Structure 1
């Protein structure tokens, strides 16, 4: 069931940009409905799995099962904390829109309207309760996408599939946008393209919003590209060998990743979005620095990538035309946007703690505008997501929203700093958060349903994978193994999976048991050396391991011991078909000095073969 829910979630998120970025009533309603159905299915499947497999896990007898369950519960507690904070935020927005709950703190505008109309009106905190309820539905859907991505995306394979799916979807939308641009058809799907006719917007209306979405998809595509480059450069080879490896070991994944990234870069440049382009460059810098911090690349590689990235961006600008270059070099000041910010700050000052209600920015903006700013168009967005949230929900709601998103991004940053496995997804998540967060200061891209759903999917899966790190605690000689395996092939794929010991811990190492196994014979130690893997020696476990060998693999010391024992028993008239390898014979000097001594008629009690000794059959050698 989890696989079905996961692929359905990917399909919903990847199709969200298609119907005009889902920024219309029908698309965003269908998106919210689909996410709600998936949440119900996931909750039901989680309950059924817990009822069926709870007892089986307790009776499995796996010594690591308890620790794995503790690790899973730790992740569930983190999810519970985020959900609790999200529920508090949603509850406050619901109070704002409800006249029965928020009537005591009703906005003064309702009293003024009632006095003007001469009729009683249901007063509430929100100036537009209907718009608040609609926006509340969309926010719940975004939170549902994050929760599903966090819970189902703990598997490392699913995280890669999620990043791949978003990248391929962005590749397809970029191809469509470039096709429409170069074909001369000024259309968005089957609608006439009235806004930004000279810019690439793909299935979006606003070029700045599409620049944010395209930047996220390109950053998501850097994760599979990094994996392919790491695979090809795993061995320290020369440039010649690297070229040979590229020609012989390259898979279609590398070509597809490179083609999609280049297409996305061209599409971003042709949007003509100054803020979108600048924020994307900043996100690329964060991504490269993150790789350096996580030790995924070296300083020399960092400098090389930094220079190569600058060259690629310059070439992309030259090949994609002069639209973005003209906008970057223009002297047009964002005076209108600054005026919007000034009026929005006045609205925040009016109700700093309880806000004007979710979805009520346009009404609060027009109420706060005292005539100092004149606009030729209707202002319904602040072009600053943080400022708009402060106007609508109040400063406490804004702070809680930032804490919830910052907690998830902070987990990715912690995983990046600790240099654990899957650092690539954590680095990409931090870069994506940088792109969206910085761009939100000058635009409203994150407020579009397609962008918000994609952002929540990527951040949710990356956060889950950053928390799903289970380290092997192998002890040897009183020290704890702290080394990090470079590529993580033996690391767990999910939080509840056992850690596979690395190959060097399976090598048989000599261990001396605590008690003698065979009777003591003068001149030799009664404690033979046995072989045991290091992975079985943690927590003082010294159980002897029987090693099956023959004469071709036996050590020289064991062979000489067996031969000396055989000679001694032959002189004593004992059957030589069974010889104990474990028995310790007298020193070689004693055997050679007693060659001419008379032999006893029968074997002594000490020379008898112990019942617990391992028996090895040896060929009859020539008598010396």
Structure 2
């Protein structure tokens, strides 16, 4: 017989032994299970995972990276990381853990979107009929489909950056134990920013990065440019914490008592501080999004985690009681804003009516990716005040359709839906269940808050969403990978 690498036995031809013909039958390999990879690849992906986590720590610090200069810095960093990763793979003569083919539909859609944004910036004015390129309300026939081609080029770079970040995060998330640990790390990062927000609000004179605030005084913003963007960031943490807490409860019989209590204390502490910071933002829809995401994780977790049973309802009751206590202690500003809801949102409703009218004037082409702040001012009219400048649509859905049209602008939504379906398939695998439940909850967070806000367009939040989508979608491929000789179970508890 012959022996192959890694100890597997391969069939051999019949051999003679004492005059008899004996057939050596190899032991069949398991039909499924984690695939082993060389330690070098494991170390490479560990380094990349650390770099991704570092990005999630650094990106929120400079006002949520809500400035073109920071977009370019992070695009350069992520592009350099992806280029280096590719060079190392070539040197190792190893393929990526998850090739582009496994995300064929999403890659095709992303490339189509990038191609359309690139076309928007080309000087095609002389090649297109007047009826297509003319904007009647503005009385112009622009030389490019985008009325702000410079901003469109920046958005194109952002889309490519998000694609590269997703690809890198998916590679490291193929190891489901690493994906689960990254999930816990992200929860701790969000909790630390929650502490920064509360300390800055209550102990440092309500400051932003050490400077006196010009707006949003009396509300927690941490290092973000506004309270709503910070609220989305915190709502993600609330959702992750709920999923991780439920899994820890489900695994209570598999963990030593000390380890179980330590896990519960860590996660519950993160949830408490994140909840306190969330209500301190005074963001109404951000709080609703956080509750919606946590509720989604709670419902899906009770179905996905075996052994949760009635304990899940006890956890839900404890979380509800904690939430009420947090609101009573930190949430008076939120309660006040809820009381004033009708008068506060009147101008936003008027703006959305004008945005819809502008969308249907140019429904298929849009006005150019990233062009809202420049173009919408020309559509602004009473009842909107002429003194107010609308730099954002306060609805990511409307922004996509305004800038890229109803078809191309819907591509990001379709991509997220496809990744959500992949994530849902991973919920049946014990190694991926907690990541899948958390990711689906996070999708709900962004889906809700994007209805009436632009938090998903803030670079730090977009990075966070992209990484979590990659962690979840990688679990739906059924390709759990562990390093050779590591001896780790794919469902090793998180802490």
1:421 and 1:469 in contact (8 A); partners too = no
State the TM-score, normalized to the length of structure 2.
0.82
Deviations 1:19-46 (A, max 9, x none): 1101123222211111111111222233
* 2:398 equivalent to 1:374: no
Q: Compare 361-370 and 209-218 and name the one that shifted more.
A: 361-370
2:152 and 2:369 in contact (8 A); partners too = yes
Q: Compare 313-322 and 79-88 and name the one that shifted more.
A: 79-88
* 2:403 equivalent to 1:392: yes
1:181 and 1:200 in contact (8 A); partners too = yes
Task: Count how many residue pairs are aligned between Structure 1 and Structure 2.
Answer: 445
- Offset at residue 213 of structure 1 (A): 0.3
| Correspondence list, 1:106-505, <5 A | 107-108=133-134, 123-234=143-254, 246=257, 248-250=258-260, 252-296=262-306, 298-333=308-343, 334-369=345-380, 371-416=382-427, 418=428, 420-469=430-479, 493=482
Relative to structure 1, the CA distance from residue 335 to residue 111 in structure 2 (aligned partners, 3 Å threshold; closer, same or farther) is closer
Q: Which consecutive unaligned segments of at least 5 residues does structure 1 have?
A: 55-68, 115-120, 236-244, 471-491, 502-624
Question: Residue 332 of structure 1: SS of its match in structure 2?
Answer: helix
- Offset at residue 80 of structure 1 (A): 3.5
Q: Compare 459-468 and 345-354 and name the one that shifted more.
A: 459-468
Question: Residue 365 of structure 2: SS of its match in structure 1?
Answer: coil
Once residues 197 and 425 of structure 2 are traced to their aligned partners in structure 1, the CA distance between those partners, rounded to angstroms, is 37
- Offset at residue 272 of structure 1 (A): 0.6
1:135 and 1:359 in contact (8 A); partners too = yes
Question: Residue 21 of structure 1: SS of its match in structure 2?
Answer: coil
Once residues 488 and 198 of structure 2 are traced to their aligned partners in structure 1, the CA distance between those partners, rounded to angstroms, is 47
- Offset at residue 300 of structure 1 (A): 1.9
Deviations 1:307-364 (A, max 9, x none): 2222111011112141112222335341111111100001111111111111111344
Once residues 111 and 338 of structure 1 are traced to their aligned partners in structure 2, the CA distance between those partners, rounded to angstroms, is 21
1:103 and 1:125 in contact (8 A); partners too = no
1:96 and 1:102 in contact (8 A); partners too = no
- Offset at residue 282 of structure 1 (A): 1.1
Question: Residue 342 of structure 2: SS of its match in structure 1?
Answer: coil
* Residue in 2 that maps onto 1:93: 117
Larger radius of gyration: 1
* Residue in 2 that maps onto 1:37: 80
- Offset at residue 290 of structure 1 (A): 0.4
- Offset at residue 448 of structure 1 (A): 0.1
Relative to structure 1, the CA distance from residue 339 to residue 257 in structure 2 (aligned partners, 3 Å threshold; closer, same or farther) is same
* 2:48 equivalent to 1:5: yes
State the TM-score, normalized to the length of structure 1.
0.66
Relative to structure 1, the CA distance from residue 466 to residue 372 in structure 2 (aligned partners, 3 Å threshold; closer, same or farther) is same
* Residue in 2 that maps onto 1:572: none
Q: Compare 422-431 and 286-295 and name the one that shifted more.
A: 286-295
* 2:89 equivalent to 1:46: yes
- Offset at residue 376 of structure 1 (A): 3.0
* Residue in 1 that maps onto 2:28: none
1:232 and 1:249 in contact (8 A); partners too = no
Bigger relative contact order, structure 1 or 2 (CA pairs below 8 A, ≥6 apart): 2
Once residues 380 and 94 of structure 1 are traced to their aligned partners in structure 2, the CA distance between those partners, rounded to angstroms, is 23
Q: Which consecutive unaligned segments of at least 5 residues does structure 2 have?
A: 1-43, 491-495
Relative to structure 1, the CA distance from residue 361 to residue 350 in structure 2 (aligned partners, 3 Å threshold; closer, same or farther) is same
1:32 and 1:137 in contact (8 A); partners too = yes
**Considering only aligned residues, what root-mean-square deviation do their CA atoms show, in Å?**
3.1
